[in-house]
Structure 1
């Protein structure tokens, strides 16, 4: 082709430009058709739809503007911006084709839109619209998960295989009797979360949906579980906002939505009838009506019919997003100057902040609302404080009546035996296991039931009964707690067979099954830690009883040990001092201090939940956050009680000292009843006292070493008014134990 006045190079340049546009158009059209046929995923379909819309708009523009071109320069100015758009989309499609999941596709589109921020103004504007369209499938699922959009079809439950960033998987749980069971639960799949979503927003989003499913499971009649109640409060959609002006409007909309929802929940009462909730659903602005036509007046039927016709006349897919993309292409494809001026006027935040400001406000507001309602129910309807007090009283031996009853039931030799013997009838008196006065061990299950019957029920003190007189009837124990037998290995069973060993009572445990709504606060791992603490404290309780018996066997009026030596007396005094010091340290420092801080922290949580004013700016924690703090409190206890894995050598030293004291108590008992001639030479008081001194010296040396190493860094348990933790403190309390043991140089003066 030759045109006078133009060289062949100019004509070939225009020809190559048009040829490239045609090839790119064919490539993109083929990709769109192939995508629609194969259905690779929602995100890639959205990309294909954006490409299809772009091609359609460009064809319409060319059909009008091509006829107006009167020179090659006009033709070139018409083709060049189109060529840049089509070439960019071709490169984008090649990159998208390599993505394996929708989240990878979405993350790729976000990176591309971010890269164009300061390079090509037109492509940057187009890619923002493409990003909004490609994000729609993900944002719709996120809205359904956090409860601001109704779930069409089957709701996502633990019986489903999961979807997107929510994974449903089986976890192995060991129950109270040592049996393994599989339980399905929700998990956050970080690999399926788009990379641009901030980690804190992703975690809050997941926990909000998880708490909402708990609310739906245990309180299906709650307003937050009703679709109509949420939709009638007009929650803002979860979508992108690229400039500060739009972000400001979003924050105002979220604030208004939260205030409306908070006010409606405030007026809702527990006796809300099903009919009221049904009416709320019917009034919801979701375009659906109940199929109730019989008994309706003609005018009402006609109105519903006209509304149905109007709904059917609407397009199946909203065209607002297509209009946005076509508007950008139609009005700004050949007018980059207006885009540049608009970009300057609309001051936008850095791209790293855009996801946080676009999704964070609505997610945070929904989390505050759902967490507040579920935590209210935990504190009120499900008596969370009572169940925590139950663990403190029994698992942590915080109930003095329980400790006394349990100690007598297990150790007192003066109680009637619960052991069944042939030809001997059981008496009707108070029965016990009589650990210190029997040779056969362990007891049968029938003995356990008889000896421990009523110990829990008659010892329990309700937190709300402090002002009740002691003569009033005992309160019922919340939950399901009872004595049970621990599942032990063969080696552990062999140790339990000896009634004089420190492990003689390791088979006894407390079995607690929390109610289903409290399961997030009491998972199996927390119950296991309570069990480990109870096992150790039960040994300490036994040692307290043993040193009391030592006093009676050495200095009691009924004792027949008349030729007792100074070594035995010194052993008795030092053993008593050591055991009481360990006990005071365990209970005062190991149990009371962490529990007291946790109680203060929980008071702050409950105060924030029960505040009657507007929920704006109030820190409301989720059940998972309460569980984490609950577990941290138990970890601090276990660290002080020497129950952590790295502290096992120190705990074994302490157990060896207890074992020596038990051997001496057996010798003292034999001497006290007048059978001193049966004393075993290897268990003489002199040898036992020497072993006791050496082990105590080693134990105290190790404790000094622990002080020099220092404790791990942790944070103060007390929550401030703004919901933040206190300053970092050092968690190493072993110096308090040494202070008790070495008060006034006790051991140094005793052995001088």
Structure 2
């Protein structure tokens, strides 16, 4: 049977099987039956021909009663049909066959008319005992009942008399060689064993994962949650299989019992393998979500089950989220989770931004106002969120109802806090552990022992840890196995698994974010004077204070020998000045301009850190970059640093650096024009001074009016609107209804305003060509001071070069306008560039 050609191998389709029996009568399983049909002879040719239409005549019709007469039966000696000349006799053709066995036709008989057919039989048509008798001598044929029981244990990952688990090989090893099941070939039996062994190994590997997860000294909370969930699923599968395998009386039914559990076990094993190397709960949950999402896109029939798995695994991460966002205030013993939003593929981008904003707001509130109801809601009569009330088993309408109640209670607490009312209760003080003194004990306690006993007492006061409820998991697994959903769930279900804990936390998060935003905005505007600090930076960094501009100009550029300024106009050496000289020259500038020595943010002059190339530019007193080393230092206090962040202050400093150069040019061309207005000045000096003044005044008016004043005025309108809406909410008794954004939006608007100013001052990389041309024009004007004896020809040449540079600047502005105009869609930055280029070109004398 296992020779050159197996029982199912047919090299030649038309050749008889090698396992066929002899054609000798009595050796076949079927009797020699034949079917023979009489042939229609030539006598019917004339009778079947149609009559000629020209000589056709209707004959005499027979009586109706003659039709009922039976046709004469043929005799045994005459086997040919009776043929008459009557047309009606054709339908009385006797097709009766002789009393012989019918013949079974085969494909060979249809293909070859002269083929001699021989009855064929296969060994599989006989009983299993005949099939087993042809097995090789060294093959052990197992009885079905015993073998099926061992195979059932193999599929469940249990050792049996036929298969034993080996730790070294990490697989099951057969105890007998060359075995097969009765009625199966070795190939079919090996395939059966291979499928059941893969299922059993998956069982063993998952049990090992559960055991190692519990035995780890420092396990991840998410990994322990996954192990608990998998353990519940394994127990449900084993219970279901133990009942179904009792009815499996054949190997086909045995395979059917393991079909659905095998698919589930393999997918669970993939989840365990994918998350094996993760070291944080966030990364573990993210990889787990990505793997399950891949199964969902592959039309896995276990979508509802995986939704509950994600819910269970995300419980530790959700507890941290609730703590960080102020929804819960229980002392969960969880490790530090500074990366709870890192690699968070399991949440949407908008949810991640929402959580980040709430976490930032809670941290700011804790640093500024530690006794606010947001930080201790229980002491103000507000119930903290219970994670059970945000589980997937509760309807979303019920969750929204609880979130609205939480909002009402918190609003009452905030109103009490704002009015100065005391806390209605303080459970923290009531639950404070009783301190034992040395006098009350027969022995003395040091500080370490006292702390130890207090910690032990606090642990006994805490409620016991609630075990994880896996009943829903068990019910889902049981229903899937009993319904055999691999046949019922044949449709494509590509929906995203959104029914997780975060989905039910979202109503609470939106309430928390809205109320927290209103609280923080009121604190910023009313308690921490945000607008005063913004005005301070506009007055000094953006030169919005005229008194500061006057004092700074006198301190830096004065030529009065009696003054205490740096006298930049008539210095030819020792530049930059010494730190003591710089401090003396700028003394009192800020305090006199502000009107008080107590300036918010400790605003003061400082030295900017520069690279070697920038330091070399500062060494030249006649360079436009001679003052690049000077900067203003401002340190925003908490929570003002959420808006006046380090990034925003770097942008302020960038603007101050450029405007300080413009301030120097205004002072220089003013002196140049005053000198040219004297009676002994030449026409060349007057012409050069006029062109220099026109160019610098046009540039400075654009930079200060369009570049700084315009964006700043629009930002002030936004702040006015926010303060007006907050006051209207207080009058109407609402909270978070008119002002729905928070500090992050205010910070973004502030940074957007600074970006617009930097763009209009041509400080961005896309404007490097324009910035270089402006610096070249300023440097060309400053170079006129190096002429010791005014020469008419040199001044006329400088005037011509200055005009050429201005025209080149105008051409560059027009080129920028044309370049932006070629785009199909203009963004806000493109439209602002076109507006700035057109205004500056007009200020420089262009059309």
TM-score band by shorter chain is 0.7 to 0.9
2:339 to 140, 161, 165: 165
Q: Which residue of 2 aligns with 1:684?
A: 794
TM alignment of 1:101-250, pairs within 5 A: 101=278, 102-103=281-282, 105-107=284-286, 110=289, 112=292, 115=295, 123-150=302-329, 152=331, 163=337, 165-166=339-340, 188-189=341-342, 191=343, 193=344, 195-226=345-376, 228-229=378-379, 232-235=382-385, 237=387, 246-250=395-399
Q: Which residue of 1 aligns with 2:608?
A: 486
C-alpha deviation, 1:204, in angstroms: 1.8
SS of the residue 2:600 aligns to: coil
> More deviation in 75-84 or 732-741?
75-84
The 1-side partners of 2:373 and 2:777 are apart by 60
The 1-side partners of 2:674 and 2:334 are apart by 68
TM alignment of 1:291-310, pairs within 5 A: 291=433
The 2-side partners of 1:381 and 1:647 are apart by 40
Does 2:670 match 1:511?
no
Q: Quickly say closer, same or farther: Cα 1:378–1:87, change in 2 above 3 A.
A: same
C-alpha deviation, 1:625, in angstroms: 3.5
Q: Quickly say closer, same or farther: Cα 1:13–1:514, change in 2 above 3 A.
A: same
The 2-side partners of 1:61 and 1:154 are apart by 37
Aligned residue pairs total 629
> More deviation in 409-418 or 142-151?
409-418
**Alpha-carbon contact 1:496-1:506 (below 8 Å) kept:** yes
SS of the residue 2:269 aligns to: helix
Unaligned runs of 5+ in 2: 1-127, 129-141, 159-199, 437-456
Does 2:143 match 1:21?
no
Q: Which residue of 1 aligns with 2:587?
A: 453
Q: Quickly say closer, same or farther: Cα 1:614–1:326, change in 2 above 3 A.
A: farther
2:264 to 70, 84, 88: 88
**Alpha-carbon contact 1:66-1:75 (below 8 Å) kept:** no
SS of the residue 1:573 aligns to: helix
The CA deviation string for residues 592-648 of structure 1, in whole angstroms up to 9 with x for no partner, is 111122222333444555633444655543434433332222121111111112323
Q: Which residue of 2 aligns with 1:562?
A: 680
C-alpha deviation, 1:564, in angstroms: 1.4
1:592 to 699, 709, 713: 709
Does 2:558 match 1:392?
no
**Alpha-carbon contact 2:244-2:257 (below 8 Å) kept:** no
The 1-side partners of 2:754 and 2:462 are apart by 62
The 1-side partners of 2:604 and 2:614 are apart by 22
The 2-side partners of 1:694 and 1:119 are apart by 71
**Alpha-carbon contact 1:14-1:76 (below 8 Å) kept:** no
Does 2:215 match 1:37?
yes
The 2-side partners of 1:738 and 1:381 are apart by 45
The 1-side partners of 2:793 and 2:274 are apart by 77
C-alpha deviation, 1:508, in angstroms: 2.4
SS of the residue 2:633 aligns to: strand
Q: Which structure has more helix as a fraction of its residues?
A: 1
The 1-side partners of 2:516 and 2:204 are apart by 51
**Alpha-carbon contact 1:113-1:131 (below 8 Å) kept:** no
The 2-side partners of 1:155 and 1:12 are apart by 50
**TM-score, normalised with respect to structure 1:** 0.72
Does 2:775 match 1:655?
yes
1:435 to 557, 565, 568: 568
SS of the residue 1:147 aligns to: coil
CA RMSD of aligned residues (A): 4.4
TM alignment of 1:274-353, pairs within 5 A: 276=423, 279=426, 281=428, 289-291=431-433, 316-318=465-467, 321-328=469-476, 334=482, 350-351=495-496, 353=498
Greater Rg by CA: 2
The 2-side partners of 1:493 and 1:221 are apart by 50
Unaligned runs of 5+ in 1: 157-161, 167-187, 284-288, 295-307, 419-431, 462-473, 668-677, 718-727, 746-752
C-alpha deviation, 1:394, in angstroms: 0.6
C-alpha deviation, 1:386, in angstroms: 0.9
SS of the residue 1:268 aligns to: helix
The 2-side partners of 1:98 and 1:85 are apart by 20
The 2-side partners of 1:584 and 1:548 are apart by 14
C-alpha deviation, 1:449, in angstroms: 3.5
C-alpha deviation, 1:11, in angstroms: 8.9
> More deviation in 51-60 or 363-372?
51-60
Q: Quickly say closer, same or farther: Cα 1:217–1:78, change in 2 above 3 A.
A: farther
The CA deviation string for residues 132-189 of structure 1, in whole angstroms up to 9 with x for no partner, is 2222112112112212122637898xxxxx52634xxxxxxxxxxxxxxxxxxxxx52
The CA deviation string for residues 220-257 of structure 1, in whole angstroms up to 9 with x for no partner, is 222322263588334353887669x8222222322322
